[in-house]
């Protein structure tokens, strides 16, 4: 048995422990953190290659077979999420070690625990264990969000904590309901039990399923539950916000997993229980996210709203629950995670060179590196607005195409395309203000030192990822499509888990 599949959980834990034991030795803690996260990337890549054989890898913890013990399951979707997490993790971390990590305590331990929580959530095959890992990454995120201190962060942090605690409580209620009715927690087993459930239990199961959907939609930031996100993400420090770009995806992941495996085609009385709700909610999210971006007066706020909008696009495709739709969504998810991370890191680079104006969208002295930051911003904006030739465009075309043959085609096309126009307008306004409409006569802010190559590197690396995603769109789409097929045909998953 290969233990590689559990490495994404164990490795960050060991790193976090070592960081704690290393105490205040700054270089050592940074080295541990970076080495571990890079190792995570290597592991994730190996797992992705392994998963792409189409085999499910099942790891039975404590040798207690499912459905009694907890299992980790690796399929293409899990592997993709792990790799995305590792890539965003490495880049955020490399940015953080430029100095952000010293603005508060315990950054690296919390960071590693957050990675552990995310990885665990992407791997587990047990609904209660999913709850546990949700708690792990959420509680780590509370700490990370507050990293760096300040009133705005604290305020946003409190809102974030309270709302997510409410979400966690609901998660527990929903899981208990399902356990009470179906008597099991393993997701594969739940799938069988739901399929075989009495018609009299249908309403109760569907109710539990919808409550669970509310939990995941809250994490994924879907309308009308996204309101916590803009403040939280825009007040987090840059590497944290960049890492959070994958955290919202944990909600998306859970919806994809649970509502195809447990409440999918075979779910009898609870078949496709999420389907009627997701698409309208997603389109509303997209539209309101884009409007929010236009109304933003700060760059980070704008990016936070674009994060919301990207979730909308993504979930619109998921909401179609077709191979094409989910395939498109997975490709788009990889794109949007990377590009949002790029923009959050970049916004910090820009803000640092604008003195007291920070990332406020107002006229200020030019930044110290207008050409470099301008080019990066332009590339990032093209990516996030879904303009060619970057992966945003390809992903958007996939999403539109996946809706073509469905009844929702006009809604999806209309909202996605109009949203694209809004993003072009808001980004061109922001870019023109930040890089063109500068006050050359104004005094240079005292701290406007040019960013070092080491600080630029993570941004450039993420953009290189975007470029790779664009150039290799065909193999990526093939992978995403295969992952979607796995999701929509869960029999193999169930067989692998339950034997």
The footprint of another protein on residues 3-32 (CB under 8 A) is 3, 6, 10, 13-14, 16-21, 23
Q: Does 360 bind another protein (CB under 8 A)?
A: no
Q: Where are the alpha helices (DSSP H) in 183-267?
A: 187-195, 202-220, 228-235, 238-261
Q: How many other C-beta atoms are found inside a 10 Å radius of the C-beta of residue 438?
A: 16
Q: Does 74 bind another protein (CB under 8 A)?
A: no
Cβ proximity to another protein: between 19 and 88 the closer is 19
SS3 state at 355: helix
Look at the block and give the residue holding tokens 């190792």.
39
Q: Which helix (DSSP H) or strand (DSSP E) does residue 368 occupy?
A: none
- Please, are residues 163 and 96 in contact by the beta-carbon 8 Å criterion? no
Which of 38, 477, 485, 489 is in the footprint of another protein by CB under 8 A? 477
Which of 421, 442, 447, 468 is in the footprint of another protein by CB under 8 A? 421
- Please, are residues 497 and 126 in contact by the beta-carbon 8 Å criterion? no
Q: Does 185 bind another protein (CB under 8 A)?
A: yes
Which of 256, 365, 382, 384 is in the footprint of another protein by CB under 8 A? 382
For residues 80-119, which are near another protein according to CB under 8 A? 104-107, 109-110, 113, 116-117
Which of 404, 444, 447, 449 is in the footprint of another protein by CB under 8 A? 404
Which of 275, 361, 411, 478 is in the footprint of another protein by CB under 8 A? 478
| Distance of closest approach, residue 348 Cβ to another protein, in angstroms | 20
Q: Does 424 bind another protein (CB under 8 A)?
A: yes
| Site mask for another protein (CB under 8 A), range 207-236, x = bound | xx-xx-xx---x-----xx-xx-xx-----
Cα separation, 456 vs 203, in Å, equals: 54
Cα torsion angle, 13, 17, 20, 25, sign = negative
Q: Does 329 bind another protein (CB under 8 A)?
A: no
| Distance of closest approach, residue 394 Cβ to another protein, in angstroms | 6
Cα separation, 140 vs 114, in Å, equals: 5
Q: How many amino acids of this chain bind another protein (CB under 8 A)?
A: 122
| Site mask for another protein (CB under 8 A), range 384-403, x = bound | ---xxx---xx--xx-xx--
| Distance of closest approach, residue 118 Cβ to another protein, in angstroms | 12
Q: Does 492 bind another protein (CB under 8 A)?
A: no
- Please, are residues 395 and 335 in contact by the beta-carbon 8 Å criterion? yes
Which of 46, 294, 368, 485 is in the footprint of another protein by CB under 8 A? 294
- Please, are residues 476 and 327 in contact by the beta-carbon 8 Å criterion? no
Radius of gyration of the chain measured on its C-alpha atoms? 22
Cα separation, 186 vs 358, in Å, equals: 48
SS3 state at 354: coil
For residues 138-157, which are near another protein according to CB under 8 A? 139-140, 142-143, 146-147, 149
Which of 166, 442, 454, 468 is in the footprint of another protein by CB under 8 A? 166
For residues 34-63, which are near another protein according to CB under 8 A? 59-63
Straight-line distance from the first to the last Cα atom of the chain, in angstroms, rounded to the nearest whole number: 16
Cβ proximity to another protein: between 449 and 474 the closer is 474
- Burial (CB count <10 Å: 0-12, 13-18, 19+), residue 479: buried
Q: Does 271 bind another protein (CB under 8 A)?
A: no
| Distance of closest approach, residue 165 Cβ to another protein, in angstroms | 10
Look at the block and give the residue holding tokens 């499912």.
66
Q: Helix crossing, 370-385 with 409-431: angle to 10°?
A: 170
């Amino acid at each position: 048995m290969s233990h590689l599949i559990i490495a994404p959980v164990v490795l960050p834990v060991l790193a976090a422990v070592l960081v704690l034991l290393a105490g205040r030795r700054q270089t050592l803690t940074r080295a541990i953190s970076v080495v571990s996260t890079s190792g995570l990337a290597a592991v994730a890549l190996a797992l992705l290659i392994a998963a792409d054989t189409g085999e499910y890898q099942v790891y039975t913890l404590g040798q207690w077979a499912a459905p009694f013990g907890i299992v980790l399951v690796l399929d293409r979707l899990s592997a993709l999420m792990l790799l995305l997490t590792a890539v965003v993790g490495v880049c955020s971390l490399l940015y953080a070690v430029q100095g952000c990590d010293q603005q508060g305590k315990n950054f690296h331990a919390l960071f590693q625990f957050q990675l552990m929580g995310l990885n665990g959530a992407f791997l587990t095959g047990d609904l209660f264990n999913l709850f546990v890992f949700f708690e792990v990454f959420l509680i780590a995120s509370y700490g990370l969000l507050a990293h760096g201190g300040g009133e705005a962060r604290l305020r946003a942090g409190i809102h974030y904590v309270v709302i997510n605690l409410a979400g966690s409580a609901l998660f527990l209620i929903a899981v208990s309901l399902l356990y009470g009715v179906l008597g099991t927690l393993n997701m594969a087993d739940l799938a069988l039990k739901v399929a075989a459930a009495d018609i009299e239990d249908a309403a109760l199961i569907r109710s539990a399923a919808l409550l669970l959907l509310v939990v995941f939609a809250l994490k994924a930031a879907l309308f009308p539950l996204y309101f916590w996100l803009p403040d939280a993400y825009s007040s987090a420090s840059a590497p944290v916000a960049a890492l959070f770009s994958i955290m919202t995806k944990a909600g998306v992941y859970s919806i994809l997993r649970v509502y195809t495996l447990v409440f999918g085609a075979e779910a009898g009385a609870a078949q496709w229980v999420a389907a009627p709700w997701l698409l309208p909610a997603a389109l509303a999210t997209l539209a309101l996210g884009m409007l929010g971006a236009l109304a933003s007066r700060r760059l980070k706020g704008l990016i936070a709203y674009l994060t919301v909008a990207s979730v909308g696009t993504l979930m619109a495709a998921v909401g179609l629950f077709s191979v094409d739709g989910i395939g498109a969504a997975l490709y788009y998810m990889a794109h949007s995670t990377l590009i949002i991370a790029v923009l959050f890191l970049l916004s910090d680079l820009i803000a640092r060179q604008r003195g007291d104006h920070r990332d406020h969208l107002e006229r200020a002295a030019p930044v110290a590196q207008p050409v470099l930051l301008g080019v990066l911003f332009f590339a990032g904006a093209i990516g996030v607005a879904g303009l060619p030739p970057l992966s945003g465009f390809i992903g958007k075309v996939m999403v539109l195409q996946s809706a073509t043959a469905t009844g929702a085609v006009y809604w999806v096309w209309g909202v996605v395309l109009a949203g694209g126009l809004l993003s072009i307008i808001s980004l061109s306004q922001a870019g023109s203000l930040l890089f063109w409409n500068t006050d050359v006569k104004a005094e240079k802010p005292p701290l406007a030192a040019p960013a070092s190559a080491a600080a630029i590197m993570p941004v450039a690396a993420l953009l290189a990822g975007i470029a790779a995603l664009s150039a290799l769109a065909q193999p990526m789409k093939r992978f995403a499509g295969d992952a979607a097929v796995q999701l929509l045909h869960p029999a193999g998953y169930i067989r692998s888990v339950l034997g």
